[in-house]
């Protein structure tokens, strides 16, 4: 089934797996040929010259091939988009138009090509018209004087461009050859597994088709209302229903703090990772310490002092300093020959009961470390035993941060329709309360279903867990 045949899949196998779409060029060699991308992912283009700043922002590359077997990237210096020549033993002065005399005629010198020094790459000007066959004088706009007998290269500074998913090749493509759009690895990673999701735009369009119109409960609704409720629904679902797919691998620096991710809404779990790659949950230091929101400088009477702009002066937090310098073993109750131990019922060596602990506090009895959220500075702060440790931060966003986020798992698609439907009906005038209640229950039921589906409870896994519990589960 390599070819999309009217189902929901619109990409070929090759587009999906290899990120490549291949085209045949025209039967006659020509410039300005266009090729339309049919990837589900929109093409992103900033430049076709690898030397240009924007090139790395492209999410694809263009390749050409004479046989669809050996592929060459199409860049300004490619054989297809450039040619060489040498001017005669005469200096070519600045001017527009100016005849650039070549030693040998070259039919591959085309309009809009840039004239550059073949060795240094210095730009001399641009070609104004195609070099007529048999002619050696190239009509150019010369902006920098060309020394006599210089080896020149004529090239398309931008051999291809892209706009709105249509690639236009400025270079002259040979007749009946092949061209390929190849997505970059990053883009390919985003494409893989995308069938699991439905785009929010599709949800909105589907909703307007299926739920809105004459003879339906919602005869008419503004598209912006649907967009609002869809996005709000996606936000709400992101908090407690949808899978948490956001995570960052980070190393804790010397200052023991990390900036909260840009699209962060709440954390799921922070873990440090040991040498075997196994996660160990880092716990929040909720009741152990706190990052103060303000640290006003006080005078001797304890009154906050102000600066010349009438604002309170701030000092460095003493609490933060103490927390950063503490020894977490004193909190967790790990063996430590020390009297100063917080929050642990500990009997020390001098009490004659070495190694014995009484009344272990399970909340603090862990050695994975602590983290705390500094809301004022937008930081995660960590206990000192995590310095330079590798951690993984799992968190949730709201599904609206980036365009790629604006999608919902198909498992929760129906729940989102129900959410939009209920939200619109419950805020509309003249809808009977029993109808509102019906859709409230429907939304609730479908959301529950979505949660169960997305929790991925598989029978095999349950059986495996129960095997050491002296229970037999038949399946």
Partner 1 sequence: MAINVNTVYQTVLLILNKEQRGYMTPVEFNKIGAQAQSEIFGTYFESLNQQLRVPQPNADYADRVVNLDEKISIFKEIGNATSISSSNVFTLPQQFSGTSSVLNMVTAPTQTAAQTQYVMGNNGSGVTISADQANNGVIQVFQNGILVADSLYSVSGKNINYYSNPTTVGQTILVNYYPKEFYRLGQVLYQVGALSTEELQRVDRGELYHLLSSNLTKPTTTNPIYTYENNQITVYPTSINGGVSVSYIRKPIPPVWNFNTGGSNQYLYEASKSFDFELHPSEQVELITRILLYAGVVVKNPEVIQVAASQIQQENINQKS
Interface with partner 1 by CB under 8 A: which residues? 36-38, 42, 163-166, 201, 204, 214-215, 219, 222-224, 227-228, 231-232, 400
Q: Which is nearer to partner 1, 46 or 437 (CB)?
A: 46
CB of 63 to partner 1, least distance (A): 19
Minimum distance, C-beta of residue 181 to partner 1, in the bound complex (Å): 12
Give the C-alpha separation, 423 to 438, whole Å: 12
CB of 396 to partner 1, least distance (A): 18
| Closer residue to partner 1, CB minimum distance, 37 or 241 | 37
- Helix 200-211, helix 223-240: angle, nearest 10: 120
Give the residue with the Cβ less far from partner 1, 85 or 233: 233
Give the tokens for residue 257: 């703090």
Token pair recorded at residue 445? 């039921």
Q: Looking up tokens 């939200």, which residue turns up? A: 423
Cβ atoms of residues 171 and 78 within 8 Å: yes
Nearer to partner 1 by Cβ, of 168 and 449: the residue is 168
Give CA separation, 402 vs 41, 127, 263, 322, in Å.
Answer: 14, 42, 9, 39
Least distance (Å) between residue 324 CB and partner 1:
36
Cα–chain center distance at 279:
24
Nearest to 285 by CA among 247, 320, 233, 246: 320
Q: Minimal distance in Å, beta carbon 157 to partner 1? A: 22
Q: Which is nearer to partner 1, 34 or 298 (CB)?
A: 34
DSSP structure string for 378-446:
TEEEE-GGGTT-EEEEEEE--S-SSGGG-EEEGGGHHHHHHHHHHHHHHTSTT--HHHHHHHHHHHHHH
Rounded (10°) angle between helices 433-454 and 223-240: 40
State the nearest-atom distance from the C-beta of 42 to partner 1, in Å: 7
Return the SS3 of 230. helix
Interatomic CA distance for residues 114 and 125, integer angstroms: 6
- Least distance to partner 1, CB of residue 374, Å: 25
Q: Which is nearer to partner 1, 228 or 283 (CB)?
A: 228
Measured distance CA(371)–CA(291) in Å, rounded: 11
Q: Indicate the residue among 231 and 438 with the shorter CB distance to partner 1.
A: 231
Please report where in the chains the tokens 């980036």 appear, as a residue.
402
Rounded to whole angstroms, the Cα distance separating 59 from 398 reads 25
Query: Minimal distance in Å, beta carbon 213 to partner 1?
Result: 9
Pairing of strands 178-183, 60-65: antiparallel
Compute the least distance from the CB of residue 132 to partner 1, in Å.
33
| Residue (232 or 440) nearer to partner 1, CB | 232
In degrees and rounded to multiples of 5, residue 211 shows phi and psi of -115, -10
Nearer to partner 1, 264 or 346 (CB): 264
């Amino acid at each position: 089934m390599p070819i999309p045949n009217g189902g929901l899949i619109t990409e070929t196998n090759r587009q999906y797996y290899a990120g490549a779409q291949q085209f045949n060029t025209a039967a006659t060699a020509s410039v300005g040929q266009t090729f339309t991308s049919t990837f589900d992912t929109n093409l992103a283009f900033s430049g076709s010259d690898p030397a240009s700043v924007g090139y790395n922002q492209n999410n694809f590359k263009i390749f050409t091939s004479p046989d669809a077997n050996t592929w060459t990237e199409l860049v300004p210096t490619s054989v297809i988009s450039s040619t060489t020549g040498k001017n005669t033993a005469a200096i070519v002065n600045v001017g527009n138009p100016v005849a650039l005399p070549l030693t040998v005629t070259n039919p591959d010198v085309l309009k809009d090509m840039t004239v550059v020094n073949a060795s240094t790459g210095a730009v001399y000007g641009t070609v104004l018209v195609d070099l007529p066959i048999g002619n050696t004088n190239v009509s150019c706009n010369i902006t920098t004087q060309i020394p006599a007998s210089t080896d020149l290269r004529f090239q398309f500074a931008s051999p291809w461009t892209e706009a709105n998913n249509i690639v236009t090749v400025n270079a002259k493509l040979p007749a009946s050859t092949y061209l390929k759009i190849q997505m970059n690895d990053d883009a390919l990673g985003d494409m893989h597994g995308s069938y699991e999701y439905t785009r929010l735009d599709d949800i909105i369009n589907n909703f307007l088709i299926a739920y809105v119109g004459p003879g339906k409960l919602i005869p008419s609704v503004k598209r912006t209302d649907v967009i609002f409720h869809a996005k709000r629904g996606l936000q709400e679902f992101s908090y407690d229903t949808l899978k948490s797919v956001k995570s960052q691998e980070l190393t804790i620096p010397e200052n023991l703090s990390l900036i909260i991710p840009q699209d962060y809404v709440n954390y799921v779990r922070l873990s440090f990772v040991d040498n075997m790659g196994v996660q160990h949950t880092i716990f929040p230091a909720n009741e152990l310490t706190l990052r103060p929101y303000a640290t006003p400088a006080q005078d001797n009477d304890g009154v906050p002092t102000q600066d010349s702009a009438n604002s309170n002066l701030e000092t460095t937090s003493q609490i933060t300093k103490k927390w950063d310098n503490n020894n977490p073993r004193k909190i967790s109750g790990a063996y430590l020959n020390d009297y100063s131990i917080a929050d642990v019922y500990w009997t020390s060596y001098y009490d004659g009961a070495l190694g014995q602990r009484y009344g272990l506090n399970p909340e603090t009895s862990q050695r994975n470390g602590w983290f705390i959220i500094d809301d004022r500075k937008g930081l995660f702060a960590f206990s000192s035993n995590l310095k330079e440790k590798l951690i993984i931060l799992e968190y949730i966003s709201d599904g609206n941060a980036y365009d790629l986020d604006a999608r919902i798992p198909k498992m929760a698609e129906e729940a989102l329709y129900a959410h939009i439907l209920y939200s619109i009906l419950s805020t509309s005038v003249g809808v009977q309360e029993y109808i509102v209640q019906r859709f409230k229950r429907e939304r609730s039921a479908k959301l529950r279903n979505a949660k169960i589906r997305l929790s991925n409870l598989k029978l095999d896994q349950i059986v495996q867990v129960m095997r050491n519990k002296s229970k037999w589960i038949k399946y």
